[in-house]
Structure 1
């Protein structure tokens, strides 16, 4: 008999161990939650409101058998699901049914939590090989939106890229309302489906933003990202239409990585998220030395 209950802070060590173990298998992998115990712990504890929006499945032995975690942005009235993660015996004939039963129960528990009241716009990312997650998404009214590539650059290649001198790229100024407005307009035009509001992104609390100006002083492009335990994440890159195909994207990415390195110290790798159909962005990152590490599918449930 499995007990489904709200998560508590005391569950965190067992959750991190379970998630890290399952993340190593593409058939269980969920996007954007790290792959090591340390990364998973950092990601979970960094979520606003943890653990109010999370649920766990506890087996009859008292061991953790599953977990579903949420990240809620009330300003956007939108949420992101990390999971369901369900630990089922490999090769057991009842494994698919056990996964489905526990995953559905975890989802019902999370949806009933006060943290999710009024949040009907939900996102979920899973590995393309996670077939049970795809079936879970269909059962609960999620639509398949698109495939996403995770590109990474590590080691000496990353250090070499950071060492390149990009003097023309600068941090987003706090005292230039005109350029900040241009960044906001480009951000909203290029990323209508973003995970943070414009105000949240430009506040500097989570994201670092760098810009490149044209000769006349107007915006050419920008990049935004942040530093995690083991990597730099390039989250947003946008270039004004008249400045495309002249290397602006690569310059702001290099400038962003250099700024993140200067502010937060060295990391093992850099990662970027690119929509599968965005070949231009993929080519830009490939020219910088990035390679495809993961392919994810996004699902979304909207009102």
Structure 2
């Protein structure tokens, strides 16, 4: 019995330390946690409301007649006519918020989560209280990563549901930058990449303000780079035909050439059909997770090398 107690004591102490560290993390960053949960609740409520406007918005996009007929609604139905604008604007705002979530996450991670605690000595104090630096960093990253994955992962399918049939006149084309990011796993990967880049910046600069700036700059560079080269992440489809080529609205056009050999007009178009949505999502998600993993590994290695 004594041997069993001695064997389980270290595990119990480690569990208590992890619990106290997580409680300290929640207390220190209570404002950020409250704001994040509030934003999640507001976004959820907004998406539920927008979904309820979907049918009315699609009716407002159709033709109307005065007086109304069996097939056409009344042109005086102001609610139906304006609902499409409210719906489209609301979907666009929420898509942008999901697409750009990595920026506030990176700024917070670099400035408040890591940089400020290293700058004011809070981290060093925690290291002297039976919480090793590596365990401290693991707890610092694990809790926000779990919350970001759960929160963003819940909003993405809710956003897809609120978009209904994906009418491009209302919610934008599938390949529009914000629409693309906000309707797939790429949104979660961007949030995690922002967290990792912010944590690494905080450990490198060890001060809140410079770490915030570097984290934002790195996130902006990554976001812009992937958006610019998204079309290159998966092989395109080519179409060559005499005369002009008319691609469907759903085609993500990449190039369009019209050479004229021997006086005969030949058109060539390369594009991504809508079926390429998921391959592009998986490729971009994989790249972002690789960046996040590399940044986190670099953060742990950097902290380990600085230990006495």
Q: So what's the TM-score if we normalise by structure 2?
A: 0.23
More helix, by proportion: 2
More strand, by proportion: 1
Q: So what's the TM-score if we normalise by structure 1?
A: 0.23
